[in-house]
Structure 1
Amino acid sequence: MNTSTPVQWSRYTPKESLQQFVLWLAFVALTVFCWQVMNEDTMWFFVVDAPNQFSDISSRMWPPRWSYLEQLWIPLWDTINIATLGTALGVVIAFPIAFLAARNTTPSQTIARPIALLIIASSRSINSLIWALLLVAIMGPGLLAGIIAIALRSIGFVSKLVYEAIEEVNETQVAAIRATGASELQVLSYGVLPQILPSFIGTSLFRWDINIRESTVLGLVGAGGIGLKLQESMSILAWPQVTVIFCSILVTVIVSEWISAKARAALI
């Protein structure tokens, strides 16, 4: 008769369990430390009073001043133009950068690829609002600063996703075209480009959709668009006008998402 104690199954060994406990303990300690640092200068009186302030502002925002909508058509059109032209400029610049950054298409692993990756990282690390703030200081206020800010932000986003798609192409198809004696340009045109074109189109449309939302706030720093009207209304505490601006931005974003979805379905 076997009287041995049955072995109890455990997902982790005692050593792994101890490591997980230490990691979770370190995570909790880090979270508590970050919370203390974050709230070191917090004025809790204003935090406690925030619901009352929100209720007060909300009551002032209603009813909306719909007559103000007549003054928003041109700023809304400017916002759409900023997003569209900025996206187009960013996509045009991002396309060759993506080929320079991809390991399987770059002409130089030591010079061209690091430079392309640096451009991508620089573009992605700086928000479009900061780009606009810098460009307004350099070029002055206006739509051009907003367009270039959107373009600079879009370069990194589009380039990164496209160069990752280039690195994931089917090399068998590329090798078959190269075996026919095709030049490198022909290999890119007939072996790589057809494989990445759906990803490129989808990424560009998705970035345009994002830029519609980002361009609505560029006017806060003087880069034109409906954000300028938002800043003006908030500076004079015209809360009913702010409600109309919020509604117009919401409708614009919804329409842009619908257009983007229809375009992706038609082109991809």
Structure 2
Amino acid sequence: MPVIETTAGPAWRKRTTGQSMVRWFGWLLGLAAFLWCWVRISESTTWFFVWDAPRIASDIFTRATPPRWSYMDSLWLPIWDTINIATLGTMAALVMAVPVAFLAASNTTPSRVFVRPLALLIIVATRSINSLIWALLLIAIIGPGVFAGICAIAIRSIGFCAKLLYEAIEEIDRSQVEAITATGGSRWQVMAFGIVPQIAPAFAGIAVFRWDINIRESTVLGLVGAGGIGLQLQASLNTLAWPQVSLILLVILFAVVISEWVSAKVRGAII
């Protein structure tokens, strides 16, 4: 820390003059980048619609209230499909994520040179593409419907579940593994009695957490034709049936709140 001599004695400063200049230069660069981005955004923005947005929002809210409660009979099956998409997709993802996680963990992979990079590539690839993009690709391959939504949710969830699970595998207590190995346990016995019991709580927590996320994601898959309540939402938006839209949004909100409550209870029981 620099020291400056003054008439009152040495004065301590947090940064030297050069460090302060570099810091201020960084702030100026950040401000210049912000102003440049703002100009580019302003050039491509129709500000008339932005200033008129409160009036439009108020008009839509007036048209959407009260919700069309009689339309609820048409939403029971779609919301059930949405829950099934999230649940079955999560279950399929967990089945595929477990072996990928064991192959990606540095202490359980058969090969750190060949197998582990491949497993990590699968984790990154499945996590980097949004579920809507997966749904669009799968609809083009296997056609629209609930099955495409299940596959999209499953593929999207593999990387998430496998990443958290392989991190839990790498953080296990190695003394238990060494104890089973010292008694002559095979590789599978070490995994079954030394590793799996330690990661079981983490696995359950990951499964519930991902299911909670998938409930949210599956509600919009219908917008691209992958089944669920999103189909009714898209149809209502296309016909400007705002009372139906408000009811669908309330149903989605209720489903998300229930899933959040269930996941919180399950995680609390596990922990």
Normalised by the length of structure 2, the TM-score is 0.93
Match of 1:18 among 17, 21, 24: 21
Deviation at 1:51, TM superposition (A): 1.2
Match of 1:231 among 221, 229, 234: 234
- In the alignment, is residue 248 of structure 1 matched against residue 259 of structure 2? no
Unmatched 5+ residue regions in structure 2? 1-5
Match of 2:73 among 64, 70, 74: 70
Q: Name the residue aligned to 1:52.
A: 55
Unmatched 5+ residue regions in structure 1? none
Superposed CA RMSD? 1.6
CA distance in 2, matches of 1:203, 1:13: 48
CA distance in 1, matches of 2:185, 2:133: 45
> 2:25 corresponds to which letter in structure 1?
V
Match of 1:7 among 10, 17, 25: 10
Q: Percent identity?
A: 60
Relative distance call for 1:178 and 1:6 in structure 2 (3 A) is farther
1:174-221 per-residue CA deviation (whole Å, 9 max, x = no partner) reads: 222222222222222222222221111111100000000100000000
> 1:243 corresponds to which letter in structure 2?
S
Deviation at 1:27, TM superposition (A): 2.3
- In the alignment, is residue 93 of structure 1 matched against residue 96 of structure 2? yes
Q: Name the residue aligned to 2:217.
A: 214
CA distance in 2, matches of 1:23, 1:173: 50
CA distance in 2, matches of 1:183, 1:69: 57
CA distance in 2, matches of 1:15, 1:98: 48
Deviation at 1:106, TM superposition (A): 0.8
Match of 1:81 among 77, 80, 84: 84
Counterpart of 1:7 in 2: which secondary structure? strand
Match of 2:144 among 141, 145, 149: 141
1:141-198 per-residue CA deviation (whole Å, 9 max, x = no partner) reads: 1000000000001001101111111112222332222222222222222222222211
User: Number of residues paired by the alignment?
Assistant: 266
CA distance in 2, matches of 1:179, 1:39: 68
Counterpart of 2:51 in 1: which secondary structure? helix
Normalised by the length of structure 1, the TM-score is 0.94
> 1:136 corresponds to which letter in structure 2?
I
Deviation at 1:23, TM superposition (A): 2.6
Q: Name the residue aligned to 2:124.
A: 121
Deviation at 1:4, TM superposition (A): 5.0
CA distance in 2, matches of 1:62, 1:255: 23
CA distance in 2, matches of 1:193, 1:16: 51
Match of 2:189 among 173, 186, 190: 186
Matches within 5 A, 1:188-203: 188-203=191-206
Q: Name the residue aligned to 1:33.
A: 36
> 2:223 corresponds to which letter in structure 1?
L
Q: Name the residue aligned to 1:109.
A: 112
CA distance in 2, matches of 1:60, 1:254: 25
> 1:256 corresponds to which letter in structure 2?
S
Q: Name the residue aligned to 1:166.
A: 169
